Chain A
Amino acid sequence: MRADIVPRPLRGFVIPALLVALWWAAVRFGWSTSPLLVAPGKVWQTGVDQVASGKVFAALGASLWRDLAGFAIGASAGLLFGALLGASRLAERFIGPSFHTLKQISLFAWIPLLSVWFGLGDAAKVAFLSLAAFFPVVLNTFEGIRSVPPDLLEVARVLRFTPAQRWRKVILPSAAPAIFAGIHLGLIYAWLATLGAEYLLVSGQGIGNLMIDGREHFWMDMVLFGVFVVGLVGFTLNWIASRIEARALAWRGRSVAQF
């Protein structure tokens, strides 16, 4: 088979399309009679119903709101903390070891503690999400600031930059790629943790609760629809972050002129 049978932009869809076809065939030709195997059409129908009744939007809205709130808190705290660790050797010496120990603790190990402190509601979930976003942002911000080229800092000295100018003109732009990578990771981690939080702190509304509901009632179509929505949201968040990153860091292009 020649590679250009499928147009280039559509090549990524080949495998999902084949899987859906296989799924459809499994139901159509009765390869399995398990009640766990629902027809693609049924999942589609559930999706249409959920969208039409607005239930999915209510659930998604609740999840996304928590996701973004937790991300905003965790990422801002991470930026400040990472910048402090990166800029001050003293801070690194005092706080660094504690931080590096804490970050080794699995994120999910925090759940019991958080639920004791904040209950099982939104506050505990948001706290959990901010923790998920916090660590990658701190680590990348710290690395980015630590690896500002000393050569450029010397230029800043020669040109008599004030401390504010040094941060604005040298340190932050130079650390920007690493900081963006951290924020990007934080955004993804926060979304993964959003679902985790809904499973582990079961109460209230959310896309995860929708899926738990589906599982408890043996509505496989609902579970599969939930999986699809969660994937779509993750994909969209990632896409938005990549676009912002690409635009902000356009200067990292390839050489186009050689003289």
Chain B
Amino acid sequence: MPRVGTLHIDHLSKQYAVKGEPLPVLDNITLTVNPGEFVSIVGSSGCGKSTLLRLIVGLEDDYQGEVLLDGQRVVGTSLDRGIVFQEHRLFPWLTVEQNVALGLLNARFTEAQKTQSVREHIALVGLEGFETAYPHQLSGGMSQRVAIARALVNRPEVLLLDEPFGALDALTRAHLQQELHRIWQAEGITMILVTHDVEEAIYLGDKVVVMEPRPGRVRRIVPVELAHPRDRTALPFARIKEDVLAEFAGEAEAATAARHADRRGDGTRGPDSGSALPNGLRFAL
């Protein structure tokens, strides 16, 4: 049951002021996300992928270009757009149930509908029996499930995920990726996942947006036309993975070229542009 939620990002640029100098973070990003689509965004650190999510959710403003949800320009936060952060950000003084219910504080539901929705979403993330547990009694993976339930409970059109599994161990991460896929199919909502894990991006995404840093730009959009559930060890999966990783190698080469250009004295990049190289390489290998 796909709902509305076409997200259109058009020529989006964003800069921060660092010591009075404008530092470009995002440069001319154009991207369309269709209703019910799962889009993964990958890139090495510093490519502005988290900033992009914060702009979409409305936590940052002051940008050039357009971020449109169903044709409406995004201004401030809205219950139509939910987000799950890398840290679970649960309220430690509230139980699981109460934390999830926070998402409904300002929803236009009746009390009965709210209770029902909280119960359904706790079940959706597989935490029945933990309704009255406090966050300090939960593991990292369970806390992140609660955070997902809190973001979904008022049925947003778009769910943004900012490296939600980045701090979890490999087994829990793989398990939660499957769970997220199941939830995405069950809810039929648009999801945008930011990650630095190429395998995760391909496992979940309908398409993978590869970003490059300094300033953050879209390098390439790689479609993932594989049937679900995806087999991470199958050949077609491996081919797409190689394809995506090759973009990172390309990024590393570009950085090397830029550094040589710097040495020749005709480069315009800052003195720290070379630091992208070891990151990118380590990442690609």
Given the known inter-chain contacts A152-B91, A252-B92, A259-B142, please indicate yes or no for A158 contacting B137, CB distance below 8 A. Answer: no
How many interface residues does chain A have, given as a range? 20 to 34
A165 at the interface (CB under 8 A from B): yes
Tell whether A159 is near chain B: CB-to-CB under 8 Å. Answer: yes
Measured in the bound complex, the distance between the Cα atoms of B80 and A158 in whole Å is 10
Q: Interface 1/0s, chain B 13-55, versus A by CB < 8 A?
A: 0000000000000000000000000000000000000000000
- The answer to whether residues A169 and B91 also contact, given A159-B79, A253-B136, A257-B138 and a CB cut-off of 8 A, is yes
B137 touches A257 (CB 8 A): yes
Main SS class of interface, B: loop
For B92, the chain A residues whose CB sits under 8 A away are 251-252
Other-chain residue from A158, A252, A253 in contact with B82 (beta carbon distance below 8 A): A158
User: Within 8 Å CB of A254, what residues of B?
Assistant: 136
With A and B bound together, what is the CA distance between A253 and B79 in angstroms? 32
CA A165 to CA B106, docked complex, whole Å: 10
Q: Using Cβ atoms and an 8 Å threshold, which residues of chain B touch A154?
A: 59, 89
In the complex, whether A26 has a CB less than 8 A from a CB of chain B is: no
Chain A residues whose CB sits within 8 angstroms of the CB of B59 once the complex forms: 154, 157-158
A160 and B78 contacting across the interface, CB-CB below 8 Å:
yes
B93 contacts A251, C-beta separation under 8 Å: yes
Residue in B85, B136, B141 whose beta carbon sits within 8 Å of that of A255 in the complex: B136
Pick from B94, B105, B133, B136: contact of A159, CB under 8 Å: B105
Known: A170-B91, A173-B93, A251-B92. A161 touches B137 (CB 8 A): no
For residue A4, which residues in chain B have a CB less than 8 angstroms away from its CB? none
B134 touches A251 (CB 8 A): yes
Separation in Å of the A183 CB from the closest CB of chain B?
17
Question: Closest CB-CB distance, B101 to chain A, in whole Å?
Answer: 11
Residues of chain A within 8 A of B78, CB atoms compared? 160
Cβ distance A143 to chain B, nearest Cβ, rounded Å: 18
Chain B interface size band reads 20 to 34
- Say whether A161 contacts B89, CB under 8 Å: no
- Interface membership of A200, Cβ < 8 A: no
Q: Who on chain B is nearest to A156 by CB?
A: B102
B133 and A257 form a contact (CB under 8 A): yes
Check A159–B102 contact: CB distance below 8 A. Answer: yes
Q: Which of B81-107 contact A (CB under 8 A)?
A: 81-83, 85, 87, 89, 91-94, 102-103, 105-106
Q: Closest B residue to A154 by CB, please name it.
A: B59
Tell me the bound Cα distance from A168 to B285 in angstroms: 49
Which residues on the B side are within 8 Å of A216 (C-beta)?
A: none
Minimum CB–CB distance for B177 against chain A, Å: 17
Least distance between A151 CB and chain B CB atoms (Å): 5
In the bound assembly, the distance between CA atoms of A151 and B87 in angstroms comes to: 9
The interface residues of chain B lying within 8 Å CB-to-CB of A152 are: 89, 91
Tell me, rounded to whole Å, the shortest Cβ–Cβ distance linking A138 to chain B.
23
Contact B103 A159 (CB under 8 A): yes
| Chain B neighbourhood of A258, CB < 8 A | 139
Contact of A253 among B105, B134, B142 (CB under 8 A): B134
B139 to chain A, nearest CB (A): 4
A173 to B93 CA separation, bound complex (whole angstroms): 7
A157-B77, A254-B136, A259-B139 given as contacts; is B105 within 8 A of A165 (CB)? yes
Q: Does A17 have its Cβ within 8 Å of any Cβ on chain B?
A: no
Separation of A253 and B103 alpha carbons in the complex (Å): 24
| Per-residue B-contact encoding for A220-259, CB less than 8 Å = 1, 0 else | 0000000000000000000000000000010111111111
Q: Please, how many angstroms separate the alpha-carbon atoms of A169 and B58 in the complex?
A: 21
Within the complex, the shortest CB–CB distance from B4 to chain A, in Å, comes to: 19
- Is B105 a contact partner of A169 (Cβ separation < 8 A)? yes
Q: Give A170 to B245 CA distance when docked, in angstroms.
A: 42
| List of A residues within 8 angstroms of B58 by Cβ | 158
Choose one: B79, B87, B91; the contact of A173 (CB below 8 Å): B91
User: Is B106 touching A159 in the complex (CB atoms < 8 A)?
Assistant: yes
Give complex CA distance A245, B83 in Å. 34
Supplied contacts A158-B77, A159-B77, 19 more A-B pairs, CB within 8 Å: A151-B85, A152-B89, A155-B89, A155-B91, A155-B102, A157-B59, A158-B58, A158-B81, A160-B105, A165-B105, A169-B102, A170-B91, A173-B93, A251-B94, A251-B134, A252-B136, A256-B137, A257-B138, A257-B139
A-B complex: 7 closest residue pairs judged by Cβ atoms: A251-B93, A259-B139, A173-B93, A257-B137, A160-B106, A158-B77, A155-B89
Query: Would you list 13 pairs from A and B whose C-beta atoms are within 8 A, ordered by A residue?
Result: A154-B89, A159-B79, A159-B106, A160-B78, A160-B105, A169-B102, A169-B105, A173-B94, A176-B93, A251-B93, A257-B137, A257-B138, A257-B139
